[in-house]
Structure 1
C-alpha cells in the first residue's frame, strides 16, 4: 500500500507500508538493498542491548544497540557486494552508494517511528556531523567529502534507518529527511515503513497471506 500524506509548504510526503517480503524487496531493490541487511542488524542490536544488568550506566543498552546495529549493517552491506562504501566523517558512520548517489545513516527514533499515522523524529539530539548532511531542501551538504582511499562522495539522497523498540517489537523505517528543527529531524519526503520486528520470533512480522492493497490517496496541507 502507498499512502501520500500532506506536509508543510504545500508539498507531499510519500509513505510506503509493504506488508510482504516481496513487496518490501521491490522498494529496496532499486537502492541495492535487501531486507535481510536490516533484519539481521535489528536482531543483533536488540540481543546485545539485553546483555546489561541494572548496574550498568543507563545509556549502555541504547548505545550498545546502536554500535552493534551499525556494525552488522556494515558487515551485511559489504557481503551484498553491491558497491556500498563506508566512511566516518567526524566519527559518524556513513554508508554511500556512489552509482545511485545514495547515503545511509542509522539512528534511534522516537515513539512515532515505524507507524504511518505519526511523523517520527530522531530520538536524541544530533551533532554537527549529522546536521550538516541535511539542509532545508532535503539534500545533502556532503559534496566533495574525501574518503579514506582518496576518492570523493557525491551524495544527493540521504536515507536514515530509524528504529524504536516498544511492546515487544522493534519498529523501523528507512526514510528521507527534509529538514531539522534544532538538533532533531522534524520532516521527511519519503518513508518506507518495515513490518515490525517481532523479538519473540526473531523476524519481521510479514503478512505473507495478505493480498497487496493497490490503493492510494493523497492530501496536500499548507502551513
Structure 2
C-alpha cells in the first residue's frame, strides 16, 4: 500500500497514528544535510554520508525521546521505539526510487542481522494479521528512507519492510511518501512522472 503524506491526507493520518509527523522528519533530514555540507573531498571517503545519517538519527532522537520514545542500539543499529512498544523506527539511505510512486525502492547499503530479524518479524506479523486481526498490534519496525537527488531535493518515505534480496531491503508492505524537501527553500515539487524507458542492456561492473 502506498500513501502520500501532506495536506492532512490518508498518509499523514497514518503517520500520526505512528506518532510521527512530516515537520519533524523534514527537520531531521535538513539537520543531516547541513552536517553533510561541512564535509569536503579532503575528509575520509564516506565520512560525509555517515555524518548525514548519524545526525538524522540524533535529531529524531532529540525530538521524539522527550515525547516518550526510547532510543536503543541493538547490534549497534540505532532504533527509536514508540511509547506503546508496538513499533519502532530505523533510519537508512535509500536508492533513486525512494519517495516516488512509480517504482519500488531498496536500501542503498547492505543491512545487518538486526534489520534482517526485524524484516522477517514484520513479514510474519503481516501474514498473521491477515488471519487474526488481534495479532496486528505486535511490534513492527518501520524505516525512514531518504534519497538526496542530484538536483538538490531530498526525497523520503516512512515504510514497513517485509522482504530482502540478499542484504538489501527490497519489499514493503506499507509506504508513506513524504513531500520532497528542498534545503534551499522548503517543500519541493514531487517527481510525478515515471522516467522514460530505453531499450538497452545493463551490464553490472
Q: What TM-score bracket applies, with the shorter chain setting the length?
A: 0.7 to 0.9
TM-score by length of 1: 0.73
Separation in structure 2 between the aligned mates of residue 113 and residue 32 of structure 1, nearest angstrom: 22
Report the equivalent of 1:59. Answer: 46
TM-score by length of 2: 0.79
User: What per-residue deviation string (whole Å, max 9, x for no partner) do you get for residues 76-104 of structure 1?
Assistant: 1123x2x3111111111111125261111
Counterpart among 99, 109, 114 of residue 129 in structure 1: 114
Report the equivalent of 1:157. Answer: 140
1:136 to partner: Cα distance: 7.2
Pairing 1:86–2:67 present = no
Number of residue equivalences: 177
Report the equivalent of 1:109. Answer: 94
2:26 alignment partner, SS class: helix
1:134 to partner: Cα distance: 1.2
1:27 to partner: Cα distance: 2.5
Question: Which protein has greater RCO, CA pairs closer than 8 Å, 6+ apart?
Answer: 1
- Over aligned residues, Cα RMSD in angstroms? 2.1
- The correspondence of residues 32-51 of structure 1 with structure 2, limited to 5 A, is 32-51=19-38
Separation in structure 2 between the aligned mates of residue 78 and residue 125 of structure 1, nearest angstrom: 27
1:25 to partner: Cα distance: 3.7
Counterpart among 183, 200, 210 of residue 184 in structure 2: 200
Q: Determine which structure has the larger helix proportion and give its number.
A: 2
User: What per-residue deviation string (whole Å, max 9, x for no partner) do you get for residues 181-209 of structure 1?
Assistant: 110011001100001011211x33389xx
1:19 to partner: Cα distance: 3.8
- The correspondence of residues 184-195 of structure 1 with structure 2, limited to 5 A, is 184-195=168-179
Cα 1:101–1:136 change in 2 (3 A) is closer
Structure 1, gaps ≥5 residues long: 1-13, 141-153, 208-223
Q: Is the 8 A contact 2:122 2:161 kept in 1?
A: no
2:106 alignment partner, SS class: coil
Pairing 1:175–2:159 present = yes
Deviates more, 1:98-107 or 1:44-53: 98-107
Report the equivalent of 1:5. Answer: none
Q: Is the 8 A contact 2:122 2:162 kept in 1?
A: yes
Separation in structure 1 between the aligned mates of residue 116 and residue 167 of structure 2, nearest angstrom: 7
User: What per-residue deviation string (whole Å, max 9, x for no partner) do you get for residues 75-133 of structure 1?
Assistant: 01123x2x311111111111112526111100000010010001000000112122221
